[in-house]
Amino acid sequence: MALPTTPSFRLDGKRALVTGASSGIGQACAAALGEAGAHVVAAARRVDKLKETVGEIAEHGGSAEVLAFDQADLDDMTAALIAQAPFDIVLNSAGIARHGPAAETMPEDYDAVMNVNLRGAYFLSVGAAKGMMKSGRGGSIIHISSQMGHVGGQERAVYCATKFGVEGMVKAMAIEWAAHRIRINTICPTFVMTDFTRKAFEDPERRAWIMDKIKLDRPAEVEDIMGAAVYLASDASAMITGTSLLVDGGWTAG
């Protein structure tokens, strides 16, 4: 009797768009997909930082290029996507936060966070899916969401609203696009040690709250997200769509 063979985690011959690739989780995911064999199109607003990411991927034997666009500007993003060949993998790590008490939220802060985290994510998904439908190859769309798409958080009402929105959006899109062999999922990290979260860890009270919630007793590092990204991008997750991969150290377990 022949034993079954594990599906490949390799991404050779695949084209992968990674947004938010200039730093933090996005940069780490770009590196991970490049290491797995994908040609990475690294996207963000900061071209100088993107060039550093692309250079590092190339130094490690990977293939990558820069694509500059602003995910909050739908015209800019749409034009950039139309000019590109269809992608096999799209990983969205672009995101912003303007934390503060819900009662003090200003409309301009609400709009700024919504425009990137939810509106931008929605139409990036739509643009990516149209390309995948056109190619006939299907593909994998991955959003870096958050554990805050599953629970509430202190002074994070707007941020939670965007991430809960992404979680619902992904479920609906998964149903619509499955017939085209397009999978769409989220990765939901806990607090990851990046420039984005550093202020939270510098506040003793906030740090104590975070560490009390993370059952594995440490914040995440970007490396903790890289394997999840490769998994959801690869054939190893071929039967997974419309769901969340929680990389939260047990935060949402209870």
pLDDT for the residue numbered 200: 82
For 9-18, write each residue's pLDDT tens digit.
999 999 999 9
28 with 223: CB under 8 angstroms? yes
Q: Confirm whether 122 is a catalytic residue.
A: no
Q: How far apart are the first and last CA of the chain?
A: 43
Confidence of residue 199 (pLDDT cuts 50, 70, 90): confident
Active-site choice (110, 122, 159, 231): 159
Average pLDDT in the 218-237 region?
97
pLDDT for the residue numbered 17: 98
Token digits for 95? 């995101």
Reduced 3-state DSSP string for 134-156: HHCCCEEEEEECCHHHCCCCCCC
Measured CA to CA, the distance from residue 153 to residue 147 in angstroms comes to: 9
Measured CA to CA, the distance from residue 37 to residue 139 in angstroms comes to: 16
pTM over 0.85: yes
Average pLDDT in the 88-102 region?
97
Amino acid at 87: F
For 6-56, write each residue's pLDDT tens digit.
999 999 999 999 999 999 999 999 999 999 999 999 999 989 999 999 999
The three-point CA angle 234-117-14 to 5° equals 20
